[in-house]
Amino acid sequence: MNIEPLTDRISLIHGTNEGVFPFSHSILIEDEEVVLIDTGCGIENLNALKKKFHMDYVINSHTHPDHSSGNWVLEGMPIHVPEEKFETSGDAAALGERFVGRENAGVFQEFVKESMGFRNCRPTHAYNRQTVFDFGKTKLLPVHTPGHTVDHYCFFEPEKRILFSFDYDLTPFPWYGHVESSLTEFRESVGKLKDMSPDVVLSSHRGIIMEDINEEFDRYCERIDRRDDKLLSLLTGEKTVAQLVECAPIYGSYPYAEPLLRYWERQMIEKHLDKLAVEGRVEIRGKYYIRV
């Protein structure tokens, strides 16, 4: 287990495979209360944390299983999750239908169980944008940031201006692959986070970022824009969404859980095509799309 201190009270728990999906980093707060934020760092790490620390409660940034898969390891203590979509939290069947549709829900359930160690574990408390988490000397302010999911929150620690950005992760792979995801809201949430001018960013899939933070946010958005350009380059003639999914312009390939990756690829492609159509850069002809 790799624990990386950021301050005397805040540490990054490095996830299995360095937090690359299907894992994520977790955050440990050691204050008057000891709190773990997100439980996707790997079941072995969670068991080690449980032995080493007497934790008071758990917080999830949102309901994605790579951030909540290990809640069951800490079952019996309070588990705080966003009020948005509270009814689906910790329930693999409900999450499957929500995230990949009924036709793929079974594949989803098997994937999160086998790859992440997910087990059903219902939360006990809901928080929202009015909540203030007060652990003693450390206070965290939830910032609602939809676009990735409707229930995604970031946290801001005002004393040292630390932003817990979670899945606005500043990696090369911005992600908005659900029906409920929104490309417009994703960009708005990134802008909101940049405008907060954090001095430090804790990313769930990248770790601690302390340099060139404004430029990091700009590069993150540029990667989204490059997906527009890639789709336009594929539209050399009329193409359907299904044909574009075969090209895999976003994922590149489908090396695992292929039905899920194809579903998420399609969702992101469709969001870009809708945007390009509104901008007048793509024309829709029945089921076909063509570059203008």
* All structural domains of the chain with their residue ranges: 3-210, 234-291
For domain 3-210, give the CATH number. 3.60.15.10
Q: State the pLDDT at residue 53.
A: 96
Q: State the pLDDT at residue 221.
A: 97
Which mean pLDDT values do the consecutive 10-residue runs of the chain (292 residues) have?
A: 97 98 98 98 98 96 98 96 98 98 98 98 98 98 98 98 98 98 98 98 98 98 98 95 98 97 98 97 96 94
Q: State the pLDDT at residue 7.
A: 97
- Measured distance CA(67)–CA(27) in Å, rounded: 11
Angle at 176 between CA 16 and CA 22, to 5 degrees: 15
Q: State the pLDDT at residue 98.
A: 98
Q: State the pLDDT at residue 102.
A: 96
Q: State the pLDDT at residue 112.
A: 98
Q: State the pLDDT at residue 271.
A: 98
Interstrand relation of 207-209 and 200-203 (parallel, antiparallel or unpaired): antiparallel
H-only helix segments in 157-291: 183-195, 213-234, 241-247, 258-278
Q: Give the SS3 label for residue 209.
A: strand
Q: State the pLDDT at residue 257.
A: 97
Residues 6+ apart with CB under 8 A from 107: 100, 257, 259, 260
Q: State the pLDDT at residue 132.
A: 98
Q: Please answer whether residues 54 and 34 qualify as being in contact, where contact means their C-beta atoms are separated by less than 8 angstroms.
A: yes
Long-range pairs, 46-49, Cβ under 8 A, ≥24: 46/70, 46/73, 46/74, 47/73, 48/1, 49/1, 49/13
Interstrand relation of 10-13 and 3-5 (parallel, antiparallel or unpaired): antiparallel
For the sheet containing 139-144, what is the strand order? 133-134, 139-144, 153-157, 162-166, 200-203, 207-209
Q: State the pLDDT at residue 280.
A: 97
In terms of Cα–Cα distance, which of 42, 60, 65 is closest to 119? Answer: 65
- Measured distance CA(94)–CA(101) in Å, rounded: 10
- Measured distance CA(197)–CA(266) in Å, rounded: 34
In terms of Cα–Cα distance, which of 244, 261, 245 is closest to 104? Answer: 261
Q: Please answer whether residues 205 and 167 qualify as being in contact, where contact means their C-beta atoms are separated by less than 8 angstroms.
A: yes
Q: Please answer whether residues 139 and 189 qualify as being in contact, where contact means their C-beta atoms are separated by less than 8 angstroms.
A: no
Q: Please answer whether residues 165 and 201 qualify as being in contact, where contact means their C-beta atoms are separated by less than 8 angstroms.
A: yes
